[in-house]
Structure 1
Amino acid sequence: MTTSVLVPSSLSREAEDQREATRKLGYVARAATIFRADSLIVYPDRDGETGRFDGGFVETVLRYAATPPYLRKEAWGKRDELEAVGVLPPLRTPSQTGSESNGSGSSRQGIVTEVGPEGRVRVNCGLQHPISLNAPPSMAVQEGERVTVRISSRRPVRAKLVDESPPGFAVERMDLSAALGREDAGVRIAASRYGEPLTVGTLGTLAGRIERDGMTVAFGAPERGLPDILGIDQTAVEAAYSGQDDANVEPNDLETGFDLWLNTVPHQGSDVVRTEEALFATLAPLSLRT
């Protein structure tokens, strides 16, 4: 089961300065971490982008936030997009632990600093010095690649390179249609105030499907929701999920690639729910299990 979170490249469109834009993205990264998202995908919304806080900025800051602190200097150096990263909240992603006799210890992210002969590589994984490891036959690693290192002992250092995704979430850039069309997309949900109001009954039905198939949840941008981004009439979405017998639009008529449009704050007390707030409000109930 995988969880993917989709946010638009226009996510920081209303930010007055880089500090505010960076802080907003930090909250998005926090939500992805807290609710154990496997991937955070930035999809293009070029009509909604304003100023310099475009998709490249959004992707770079989110990638930086997802990088463990002990690797950030080597992985990123100095970049204009990262001038305000001091305001990012710490993600505090815990190391993955295991108790198997052949793989006990913690898993952490590393960066390949050198590729040598016969499958030997040097990896910086936050220890005092880079360590030399054998790459598994199934892995073809390159210099600069991020890998997972399983550490069983620190004194003396005993570790191995393992062929699995590093802890935390991955940041990708992808068209919305491509993200929704992946084989592991699971239940494809559009988070929108115009969708079906989330109820206990709806959640009871959804939880089983999500637990079995995983989920992909897409969010809109400030002052620019998913209907605007997709170029569809918001009244059509409302009509499809109104529950009225005389509604002339059915959910299947929308043809947007989503299985469900869902309003996770059905009684919102503010005119606007910010995207970063919507992530917490949406991922919290959808993370419940049967």
Structure 2
Amino acid sequence: MNRKKICVAIPASVVSDIPHLREKTSKIGFIGRATAIFRVNEIIVYSDNLKVDQKTEMSLIALLLSYMETPQYLRRRLFRLRPQLRYVGILPPLRTPHHPLNRRIKSLKIGEYREGITLSRTSEGTLTDIGVEEPALISNKQLPLNQRVTTRITKIGKHVEVTLAERDEIPSYWGYKVTVERNSIGKFARTRGFGLVIATSKYGVPFANVA
């Protein structure tokens, strides 16, 4: 399914003037929630001041946005405890289709998509946590463990069976990916092949006046 994609570039300095981690987390949370509301497909975190080292800010922004995008039932397996996650409890929920509230096998539907993480391999395939009472089986696939995967439910019975799926085939919005860009915004805007680039600034003209 070929759909237009929306990318948003976030400068590292968006949190550089905020002294406390709690307020940094809150601001990043608002950004993540807004991008999900407007169905952004990719968030690019970039350095906007090449004269200083912004790796700490870039890493924090990318970490918190990735944490927000991950379904709640996968976070404990994918993110180890670290100081930067101290205030994640104040992050707003994304409320997107890939963050399902249903945790019961009996409520699953054939063809439903779920995010999962691979747990173990058996002779029949790979057992995967998809956020219900028991792991689902990816038949005839020996996948690396602790790997996040997108799945589609193919069988519901004594056991749940799923198959691997591509995000592009999913008809509904399925979250964003986070990319850390080391180059300047001008350089990656030229090399990424975007169809349209809109730069924003507090000194700019209102978009409605030029659209």
* TM-score (ref. length: structure 2): 0.76
For the residues of structure 1 that align with 2:98 and 2:148, how far apart are their CA atoms? 15
**Does the aligned pair in 2 maintain the 1:29–1:65 contact within 8 Å?**
yes
Count the aligned residue pairs. Answer: 191
Q: Which residue of 2 aligns with 1:160?
A: 163
Q: Does residue 143 in structure 1 map to residue 145 in structure 2? A: yes
Q: Does residue 191 in structure 1 map to residue 197 in structure 2? A: no
Alignment of 1:252-263 (within 5 A): none
Shift of 1:182: 1.6
Q: Does residue 126 in structure 1 map to residue 136 in structure 2? A: no
Shift of 1:47: 4.9
Q: Which residue of 1 aligns with 2:191?
A: 181
**Does the aligned pair in 1 maintain the 2:60–2:84 contact within 8 Å?**
yes
1:71-129 Cα offsets, whole Å, 9 max, x none, are 11111031111011011011111249xxxxxx9532121122345678x3222221223
Provide the identity percentage.
31
Which of 116, 121, 130 is residue 110 of structure 1 equivalent to? 116
Shift of 1:186: 2.1
For the residues of structure 1 that align with 2:54 and 2:148, how far apart are their CA atoms? 31
Q: Which residue of 1 aligns with 2:83?
A: 80
Which of 39, 52, 57 is residue 54 of structure 1 equivalent to? 57
For the residues of structure 2 that align with 1:74 and 1:179, how far apart are their CA atoms? 34
Shift of 1:130: 2.4
> What SS does structure 1 have at the residue aligned with 2:93?
coil
> What SS does structure 1 have at the residue aligned with 2:112?
strand
Letter in 2 for 1:170: K
Q: Does residue 8 in structure 1 map to residue 28 in structure 2? A: no
Letter in 1 for 2:112: S
**Does the aligned pair in 1 maintain the 2:113–2:151 contact within 8 Å?**
yes
**Does the aligned pair in 2 maintain the 1:6–1:41 contact within 8 Å?**
yes
**Does the aligned pair in 1 maintain the 2:110–2:155 contact within 8 Å?**
no
1:28-68 Cα offsets, whole Å, 9 max, x none, are 10011000011111112355878995111111111111111
Shift of 1:23: 0.5
**Does the aligned pair in 1 maintain the 2:117–2:148 contact within 8 Å?**
yes
For the residues of structure 2 that align with 1:52 and 1:86, how far apart are their CA atoms? 24
CA change 1:135–1:29 in 2 (3 A) is farther
For the residues of structure 2 that align with 1:28 and 1:163, how far apart are their CA atoms? 26
Which of 155, 168, 171 is residue 178 of structure 2 equivalent to? 171
Letter in 1 for 2:119: T
CA change 1:124–1:52 in 2 (3 A) is same
For the residues of structure 2 that align with 1:141 and 1:180, how far apart are their CA atoms? 36
For the residues of structure 2 that align with 1:91 and 1:74, how far apart are their CA atoms? 19
CA change 1:20–1:115 in 2 (3 A) is same
> What SS does structure 2 have at the residue aligned with 1:168?
coil
**Does the aligned pair in 2 maintain the 1:12–1:53 contact within 8 Å?**
no
For the residues of structure 2 that align with 1:67 and 1:143, how far apart are their CA atoms? 17
> What SS does structure 2 have at the residue aligned with 1:57?
helix
Q: Which residue of 2 aligns with 1:268?
A: none
Shift of 1:187: 0.6
> What SS does structure 2 have at the residue aligned with 1:40?
strand
CA change 1:154–1:117 in 2 (3 A) is closer
Shift of 1:189: 0.9
